[in-house]
Amino acid sequence: MSARPSLTTVHVLAILIIGLVVGYALGAITSPFGREAGTVTITVTKTVTETKTVAGQPSEVKPGKKVRVLVLFDVGGRGDLSFNDMAWLGAERARKELGVEVKFATPRSTAEMASLLDRLSSEGKYDLIVLVGFLWTAPLEEVAPKHPEQKYALIDAATSKVYPNVACYVFREQEVAALIGILAADIAHNLGGDKIGAVAGMDIPPLWRFHIGYLFGAKYYEKVTGRKTDLLWIYTGTFTDPAKGKEAAEALIRQGAKVLYGLAGATHLGMFEAVREAWQRGVKVLAIGQDASQEWIDPYHIIISGLKRVDNAVYTAIKEVVEGTFKGGIHSLGLKEGGLDLASLDMVKWFAEQAASVGRLPKDLTPEKVVEIVKELREKYISEEAWKIVEELKQKIVNGEIKFKNPATHDEYEEIIEQLEKGNLEAALIAG
């Protein structure tokens, strides 16, 4: 299998941001987002029935008023290949399908986040302010109590206490990581190895959950098939340094990892480069992306991606404001709610089309060719047995038979990992 030329980090970022903008502006590309989400329904509603405002509760949208939404990205802004771009997609979908007015903004630094949020909240222009990412947690906790009439949606993070005007959308990362763990273990054995790896970003709760799920899936596969599989895990401490991602990946490859899972944002772009270079040296290693479909970046070596459907979370938050069902508190999204998924070939094609629309795919590739390569890669290195195990576990998760613990402390997280490494799957699960 020959390797295509690599894309620079700058090119990768440019492809996504420009491609998405062009696709929506021209109206020529049909997005698969939102049409694969389990229980998230599409309702075209522009006005809502008025409900009484309870003291201390955010006010409801009045009949006939066009809902206005502001999406505040984190400091990375658009073009991050994950959260911010996916949030944009969800908001754009709401604009088209629900008839809302949407505006976007990006803070210049973390230092100005609280003051920016306070100023925008004071203006009273928006029925909902959507905040993307955990960096907004502290600013929101400072500002939200001062503006009880302003509704907020915090995406992929939760405040330390419940505010009636703040809806927090969090993800059960263990669920998608467990499915990835099964596939990674199978791929590793089909490549002639028994180790899988992960290049992770910062040592924070969402990554704890990914770690637990990924290891659980590998050990679940081990239990079902009898094929021993070990996990190598590295925290790089950053989401923005591809050089560190490459360095970490090279270390994992030297230790025998045959599959690398990218859990570090822009940092794991360097991991993709390390995998490609290893293949060129005759060392067979494959990569797995996360958050958005990333196969198109290098379809010869990125076999599949896990999806965190930030787009569905944003769309759902806006929809609840439009319909008058907004409720403060924590809203947990997983496989059942359409908050998580594996990248289908349709998703792979859609992202490849974004690159092609601005002439960034290599001359020897088309979106159809990308799909063909990825399909061939999956058929060669993922067995039918593995897909059956994935479906079996997915159904157990969706029907509530399997529920993962959410570690409250780092010590609890480490204890769960230690037990999983010993093959104790129950250590990661809520009893009963």
Q: Are residues 206 and 243 in the same domain?
A: yes
Q: CB within 8 A of 349, min separation 6: which ones?
A: 367, 368, 370, 371
Q: What is the pLDDT of residue 426?
A: 98
pLDDT single digits (tens) 398-418: 999 999 999 999 999 999 999
Bigger pLDDT: 59 vs 270: 270
Output the average pLDDT for the chain: 86
- Judged by average pLDDT, the poorest of 154-163, 353-362, 422-431 is 353-362
Per-residue pLDDT at 238 exceeds 70: yes
- Domain count across the chain: 2
Q: Are residues 259 and 335 in the same domain?
A: no
Per-residue pLDDT at 214 exceeds 50: yes
Q: Are residues 291 and 401 in the same domain?
A: yes
- Judged by average pLDDT, the poorest of 25-29, 231-235, 253-257, 374-378 is 25-29
The CATH number given to whatever domain includes residue 154 is 3.40.50.2300
Cβ atoms of 298 and 6 closer than 8 Å: yes
Q: Are residues 276 and 408 in the same domain?
A: yes
Q: Are residues 318 and 302 in the same domain?
A: no
pLDDT single digits (tens) 32-46: 433 333 322 222 223
Give 145's DSSP letter: G
Give 133's DSSP letter: S
Per-residue pLDDT at 49 exceeds 60: no
pLDDT single digits (tens) 72-118: 998 878 766 567 878 998 999 999 999 999 999 999 999 999 999 99
Q: Are residues 139 and 274 in the same domain?
A: no
Q: What is the C-alpha separation between 335 and 3, in angstroms, rounded?
A: 33
- Judged by average pLDDT, the poorest of 52-56, 193-197, 200-204, 209-213 is 52-56
Q: What is the pLDDT of residue 19?
A: 36
**Among the listed residues 63, 67, 34, the one whose alpha carbon sits nearest the alpha carbon of residue 49:** 63
Q: Which domain holds residue 335?
A: 65-171+310-340
Q: What is the C-alpha separation between 362 and 122, in angstroms, rounded?
A: 48
Per-residue pLDDT at 183 exceeds 90: yes
Per-residue pLDDT at 57 exceeds 70: no
Neighbours of 26 (CB within 10 A): 9
Q: What is the pLDDT of residue 58?
A: 58
